[in-house]
Chain A
Amino acid sequence: EIVMTQTPLSLSVTPGQPASISCKSSQSLLHSDGKTYLYWYVQRPGQSPHLLVYEASIRFSGAPDRFSGSGSGTDFTLRISRVEAEDVGIYYCMQGMSLFTFGPGTTVEVK
């Protein structure tokens, strides 16, 4: 089973400032098809999760362009270029290389 870890587990950010969340997998998420099966989601209060980034770095349709994903192999990062009030929520990474496993989540608070 692939284990996912995230740091930090909580983050408090001033609006307009950048933020980043790290995600590490216990095995490489680079598939032989050339794709990296790492996804980022946000679950805002009272809502269902929403996909932000797929295949490590491709922003999903509708996700604001202040969100970006990067990384390869086993180390990944989600960056928010300028945090807005609506970005409050819990952010999860997920691997899709071998079935599916979510990271523990990072709670983002906006000051």
Chain B
Amino acid sequence: EVNLAESGGGLVEPGGSLRLSCVASDFPFDTYVMSWVRLAPGKGLQWVAAISASGANTYYADSVKGRFTISRDNSRETVYLQMSGLRAEDTAIYYCAKNTAHEFWGPGTLVTVSS
């Protein structure tokens, strides 16, 4: 069964940085697009970023463009989200999801941006 496990969340001050990781298992990781999606308190799901199977192409929501970077290491079956210039409105649970259909999701990791 597909398994996705996020890590790296925590408390960070505004303007700070954080790197999230998502380790995948039990599917051919290097053949699938991977995404990050977030759920902020009191709000709905928001797609954040996606990366092609090879890692050659990346895509971002306007709200994070220039601040967040998605990358992947297919040898480690891991996708990353490097977040910098964090703002209070980036506070959310961050999920990684498999494929363009977002057919499987991890349990999420909580990022809190606060002084």
Instruction: Give the interface of A toward B (CB within 8 A).
Output: 1, 39, 41, 43, 48-51, 54, 60, 90, 92, 94, 96, 99-105
A43 to B46, CA, bound (A): 13
Chain B count of residues within 8 A CB distance of the other chain? 22
From residue A99, how far is it (CB to closest CB) to chain B in Å?
6
Instruction: Give the interface of B toward A (CB within 8 A).
Output: 35, 37, 39, 44-47, 50, 59, 61-62, 95, 97, 100-108
User: Does the CB pair A102–B45 fall under 8 Å?
Assistant: yes
Cβ 8 A contact of B105, one of A48, A101, A102, A105:
A48
| B39 cross-chain contacts in A, Cβ below 8 A | 43
Instruction: Return the chain B residue nearest A4 by Cβ.
Output: B44
Can you name 21 A-B pairs with beta carbons within 8 Å?
A: A39-B101, A48-B106, A48-B107, A49-B37, A49-B97, A49-B102, A51-B102, A60-B101, A60-B103, A92-B44, A99-B47, A100-B35, A101-B47, A102-B37, A102-B44, A102-B45, A102-B46, A102-B47, A103-B44, A105-B44, A105-B45
Known contacts A48-B106, A105-B45; A96 and B95 CB within 8 A of each other = no
User: Does the CB pair A49–B95 fall under 8 Å?
Assistant: yes
A41 to B37, CA, bound (A): 13
User: Does the CB pair A51–B103 fall under 8 Å?
Assistant: yes
User: Does the CB pair B100–A96 fall under 8 Å?
Assistant: yes
User: Does the CB pair A100–B107 fall under 8 Å?
Assistant: no
A51 to B61, CA, bound (A): 21
Known contacts A48-B107, A99-B50, A100-B35; A39 and B45 CB within 8 A of each other = no
